[in-house]
Amino acid sequence: MSDTLRQVQFERLANSSYEVRNARGGSIRVGSGGADTDFTPVELLLAAIGTCSAIDVDIVVSRRAEPTEFRAEVRGDKVRDAEEGNRMENLAVEFTIRFPEGEDGDKAREALPRAVKMSHDRLCTVSRTVELGTPVTTTVDETA
């Protein structure tokens, strides 16, 4: 695998239920959003947007102080549009991050807005890809 290539593979477990695996052996179940607890593809997109940015922010602020609370809510509206196709709109990430009192906590609080902005504007590959609108190619292996 090249230094730039990223990929996952998945296999069907049942109708609309899949196990996704990465090259390191990790796996997650993905489904259509029925009665089970599997993540839906849209939930994975929201999770990817939020955690990508969280990692960027965490690396910067944790150098100054260990957060006492670090969580986020990622949300958006799913639009069903017969003309333009289904999509997500109004995507938003809202962080709740707290630091201990004291000089180190103050440094982390001061760095937080800049870290969030850097992640959004430059560092987070996932949200940058969504915002820039990268084309997706789909093909079918017809040899089987």
Residue 102: CATH number of its domain? 3.30.300.20
Structure tokens given for 14? 């049942």
Same domain, 35 and 46: no
Q: Is the pLDDT of residue 22 over 80?
A: yes
Within a domain: residue 141?
A: no
Give yes or no for a contact between 45 and 91, defined as CB atoms under 8 angstroms apart.
no
Same domain, 23 and 66: no
Residues 87 and 110: their CA atoms lie apart, in Å, by 36
Give the helix ranges, DSSP H, for 1-144.
41-61, 103-118, 125-132
Confidence of residue 143 (pLDDT cuts 50, 70, 90): confident
Q: What is the mean pLDDT of residues 96-124?
A: 98
Average pLDDT of every residue of the chain: 95
Q: Is the pLDDT of residue 35 over 90?
A: no
Q: Is the pLDDT of residue 31 over 70?
A: yes
C-alpha distances out from residue 82 to 15, 79, 87, 120, Å: 24, 10, 11, 31
Within a domain: residue 100?
A: yes
108: domain range?
A: 41-132
Q: What is the mean pLDDT of residues 93-106?
A: 98
Residues 97 and 105: their CA atoms lie apart, in Å, by 11
Greater pLDDT, 144 or 59: 59
The pLDDT > 70 percentage for the chain reads 98
Same domain, 88 and 100: yes
Quick one: pLDDT at residue 33? 74
